[in-house]
Amino acid sequence: MKYGRKITGGKYHKQSKKKKYALRGLENKVKLRETRKKIVRLTGGRERSVILSTNIASVNDVKTKKTKNVKIKNVVQTPSDHFLARQNILVKSAIIDTDLGKARITNRPSRDGNVQAVLIE
């Protein structure tokens, strides 16, 4: 039988219509440029600060147990999608080249509003 029909030929009807809160939001890709932020309204009037682009990362050195804000030079590798590395888009688990050396991003920059990373030996 055709999709969306019962065996008898009758139609299946939706239980409820689509609600605005169930729709997906726009995808936010953080690019490697000068820092730009935006405040987004959430459900219930809450607000979240999201980052559109940045060139600064908060890098944690495990050996010295210190954190520094350093400049990002380039996106070296992105395990989830190698095309994102070519476009210099910052995502979780991407390997970036910083002033201190190579680091791996440990948070989701598109949701958190900053970039946090850990140095790779």
Helices (H), 1-121: 82-86, 109-112
pLDDT of residue 2: 64
pLDDT in tens, 36-50: 999 988 888 999 888
What is the topology classification, in CATH, of domain 28-119?
Answer: 3.10.290
Strands ordered across the beta sheet of 89-90: 36-41, 47-54, 30-32, 89-90
pLDDT in tens, 90-118: 999 999 999 999 999 999 998 888 999 99
pTM of the prediction?
0.78
Q: Which pairs count as long-range contacts for 65-70, CB under 8 Å and 24+ apart, including other chains?
A: 68/100, 70/98, 70/99, 70/100
Contact 94, 75 (CB under 8 A): yes
